[in-house]
Structure 1
Amino acid sequence: MNTLVYDKNTPVLFLIFNRPDNTAKVFEAIRSAKPKKLYVSADGPRTEEEKTVCEQTRAILKNIDWECTVLTNLSEHNKGCRVAMSEGISWFFKQEEEGIILEDDCLPSASFFAFCSTLLAHYRYDTRITHIGGSNFQLGTKRSEASYYFSNLTPVWGWASWRRTWNNYDVDLKSFPSFKEQDLINNCQSHFPFKEGWLNALEKTYNGEIDTWDYQYAYANLINHGLSVIPNVNLISNIGFGPNATHTFDQNYVFASLPTGEINTITHLRYVIPNVQADVFTQEKESYIPPRKNKLSRMWKNTKSFLKKR
């Protein structure tokens, strides 16, 4: 067991847009961590009226008062979530081998930064591990005796990763038709019970009906059998639910504004095995991905049998 300490050399990417109040709160958390290198990427306004709040949001950069190298990627026109986010993250990883990513509505606890930098170093050369999440959606249930558990899901409300992972990213999901045609999701134990939901979301993303970037990232880790590190304490509160959000409108959503805690020491896992029970629990709570419970399906029966033994 070792004390967690944030390595300030671990760079941070801050993704912002048009919410100055939320941005200010997340910025204060970054300011407290004092990274030595801060990247800021911002999408541009959609209308003349929105230009003012985008400028107010970007003005937060004037409050950087610690020793820090600041790099910016500020668009003058609106690219939309899919393009702006994916291009911003690609810009970051073109310059950095690894780092921490925060959006303007993902408010981290103090130990989030130390958790990420410690795990980035620990799994730097272990290509089985592709993602470090800051969110925990287990609603109080601890999934291991260590400080974290492994997952086949890829939560992005405050996260960290490596260039080696992002190199697998394809915003256009070019391989998805083949993935769907071969029914390869049947081989994914954490995802199969929610097959229809996943395929529907990925199909709409592939067709451009959903303006997003994160389904593509989850898909990249899924098809490459990547594992995520999930803290056993929630380290991120999503404060962005409401009418001004891009996707997260329901303020009563079960995972909206979850309370956060701290992880002050780190105990590593001995076994590199995903916790399917935790993954199924998370997805059952996510109403936008309804479960597939086909009693004639051998895979679903095997999954239920496996979970009952846990």
Structure 2
Amino acid sequence: MRDTPVVVIAYNRPDKVRRLISRLEELKPTNIIFAVDGPKPGKPSDVTKVSEVQSLVNKFTWTDKVETRFRPTNLGLRAAVTDVVSHAVSAHGQAIIMEEDTLPGKNWFPYAEEMLSRYRSETSIEHISGYNLVPDKFQTKQGRGSRLSRYPESIAWATWDRAWDKFDGSLEWALNASTSEIAKIVGSTAGAIRWKQNFADAEANRISTWAYRWIASMWSRNSYVLSPNQNLVTYAGYDEGTNSLMKAPWSELDLFEGPIGSVLETNPVLDESADKWVGEKVFAETPFGVARGLAITAALELRKQNRARKAKRK
């Protein structure tokens, strides 16, 4: 089995990074890439917080294989993530990625390592998720094994170079795909319209997101996500996340700490029931979601303009 690097993506939240490192110390992954984005210009508090986060590299005491990737200035979420993931998979062929506001359970790294090995040559699978939100009753397999999905989650995941090398940051497919093309993927016209809104927000830089670009890249190739039917990671980013405007309209599932064998069952298939739940609950692929999307776009545009005005005054 490969010594897959665990990429820790951090910025300016030392308390969350400290908590994540404490959990990693319990699990003891041996190969770490610690990536910290730089402070934003004109934000003195950022300099202090980012410096504090960088100093936490000294907490990785259980391994001597720690690579740092500290940025002197702020790249932003989109560029910071794509930069370090590209670096990691180029150097190692595959990577496990953890954002600073996550906590892995004991099964996440073994699951990711096994699935990276098992499906490395299965080119239709490009992403492995660790964060499952779908309750058992909406899953075909009712909490056992893994499923295929159209929706990659972006806080704790893994991928290979053969998939990530095809990442298209330009959103070319997303901006040119018709509503009917996207509807064939997500299952509804409302869902397709909602995703056209998401892609437009990303293209206009109203939201700094690599994740929508990754979703579009995968959809353009008709590829899939492998997701456990149990939740292997917990998340605590809705309180102060970069792109969070509201509390999530779902409840996080309990962390699965049972025997990993039941999650490793093979022969995953596309679970349309689970994807329908994700589409409606997580991505608001409903007529109401489309209407709310218009309001979100307006709020994001206002925030973007306010930031631009503040930057001009400095």
TM-score by length of structure 2 reads 0.83
Query: Which of 17, 21, 41 lines up with 2:11 in the alignment?
Result: 17
Give RMSD over aligned pairs: 2.1
Instruction: Describe the shift of the 1:68–1:292 C-alpha distance in structure 2 as closer, same or farther (beyond 3 A).
Output: farther
Within the alignment, does 1:261 sit opposite 2:235 as a pair? no
Residue pairs, 1:155-194, within 5 angstroms: 155-180=153-178, 183-190=180-187, 192-194=189-191
How far the C-alpha of 1:125 sits from its partner, in A, is 0.8
Instruction: Describe the shift of the 1:255–1:168 C-alpha distance in structure 2 as closer, same or farther (beyond 3 A).
Output: farther
Specify the code of the residue in structure 2 equivalent to 1:68. D
Are the equivalent residues in 2 in contact too, given 1:115–1:263 (CA < 8 A)? no
Within the alignment, does 1:34 sit opposite 2:32 as a pair? no
Within the alignment, does 1:118 sit opposite 2:114 as a pair? yes
Instruction: Describe the shift of the 1:256–1:79 C-alpha distance in structure 2 as closer, same or farther (beyond 3 A).
Output: farther
How far the C-alpha of 1:33 sits from its partner, in A, is 2.3
Are the equivalent residues in 2 in contact too, given 1:20–1:53 (CA < 8 A)? yes
How far the C-alpha of 1:176 sits from its partner, in A, is 2.9
Within the alignment, does 1:206 sit opposite 2:167 as a pair? no
Specify the code of the residue in structure 2 equivalent to 1:123. Y
Are the equivalent residues in 2 in contact too, given 1:34–1:68 (CA < 8 A)? no
Q: Which residue of 2 aligns with 1:222?
A: 219
Instruction: Give the distance between the partners of 1:54 and 1:168, measured in 2 at CA.
Output: 31
Instruction: Give the distance between the partners of 1:269 and 1:85, measured in 2 at CA.
Output: 30
Bigger shift: residues 25-34 or 252-261: 252-261
Corresponding residue pairs, total: 282
Specify the code of the residue in structure 2 equivalent to 1:234. N
Query: Which of 208, 233, 236 lines up with 2:233 in the alignment?
Result: 236
Query: Which of 139, 143, 147 lines up with 1:149 in the alignment?
Result: 147
Instruction: Give the distance between the partners of 2:258 and 2:245, measured in 1 at CA.
Output: 30
Q: Which residue of 2 aligns with 1:280?
A: 276
Unaligned stretches of 5+ residues in structure 1: 1-6, 294-310
How far the C-alpha of 1:105 sits from its partner, in A, is 0.7
Unaligned stretches of 5+ residues in structure 2: 289-314
Higher helix share: 2
How far the C-alpha of 1:249 sits from its partner, in A, is 4.6
Within the alignment, does 1:135 sit opposite 2:108 as a pair? no
Are the equivalent residues in 1 in contact too, given 2:207–2:243 (CA < 8 A)? no
Instruction: Describe the shift of the 1:53–1:27 C-alpha distance in structure 2 as closer, same or farther (beyond 3 A).
Output: same
Instruction: Give the distance between the partners of 1:27 and 1:256, measured in 2 at CA.
Output: 25
How far the C-alpha of 1:95 sits from its partner, in A, is 0.9
Instruction: Give the distance between the partners of 1:85 and 1:132, measured in 2 at CA.
Output: 16
Query: Matched residue of 1:155: which SS?
Result: coil
Instruction: Give the distance between the partners of 1:74 and 1:263, measured in 2 at CA.
Output: 36
Specify the code of the residue in structure 1 equivalent to 2:55. A
Specify the code of the residue in structure 2 equivalent to 1:17. Y
Instruction: Give the distance between the partners of 1:131 and 1:278, measured in 2 at CA.
Output: 17
Within the alignment, does 1:43 sit opposite 2:41 as a pair? no
TM-score by length of structure 1 reads 0.84
Within the alignment, does 1:73 sit opposite 2:75 as a pair? no
